[in-house]
Structure 1
């Protein structure tokens, strides 16, 4: 039986809010990315948005894989941004700053997230 919502503390609700925000940003990026593709623009935003949407959903379910997936999306974003603008700081900053802040914030929730259950191998 699950504990009532009142039994959960601030950290629990902060995680739920954070995960929801990540998922909503992902949804917006994916929708905008789909629109951009129809206009002949960059394909980056659709997969990045889907990755963030799934990442947020996984974190909402308190899965550590959500943080791992987010960091994978962030790494892909860094590669894409460097490929697109190079090391030009003023062009690079808007492409990576917000996602970098989210990546750092995600680390605060790692202790609250469940790791996959390891099954013992019978010999």
Structure 2
């Protein structure tokens, strides 16, 4: 980790809890997605679940790469949803709303993540 656990602070703890939630959601999606793939269904849920696991794991380690991984999952979700249902708002909403809400939280946690990385950058200079 970039900083000492004892100096995590409220924002740092919120970041860690959120990262763990992303991993749990990813595990659920990936497990269901794996089952769906074995039945001949869509690979989307397995891939999205693995992406959330990677994103949450990286954010738990205070890595900005986890943010990029999350937004890659969000972009993939938007593409998949548009491919699957087109521009129908009532069909798009349930497919993308949760990811957008989580994306807003990721953006809100970005300053905390950047602060937690700052000491490691200064140490290497």
- TM-score, reference length from structure 1: 0.87
CA–CA separation in structure 1 for the residues paired with 2:101 and 2:15: 15
Residue 23 (structure 2) pairs with residue 23 (structure 1): yes
Residue 2 of structure 1 is matched in structure 2 by 4
Q: 1:62, 1:112 within 8 Å by CA — same for their partners in 2?
A: no
Task: Determine helix, strand or coil for the equivalent of 1:109.
Answer: helix
In 2 relative to 1, CA 66–48 (structure 1 residues): closer, same or farther, beyond 3 Å? same
Residue 84 of structure 1 is matched in structure 2 by 84
Gaps of 5+ in 2: none
Higher relative contact order (CA 8 A, sep 6+): 2
C-alpha displacement of 1:3: 4.8
Residue 32 of structure 1 is matched in structure 2 by 32
Q: What do you get for the CA RMSD once the two structures are aligned?
A: 2.1
Q: Deviations over 1:74-98 (max 9, x none)?
A: 0000000000000111111110000
C-alpha displacement of 1:8: 2.8
Gaps of 5+ in 1: none
C-alpha displacement of 1:12: 1.1
More helix by share: 2
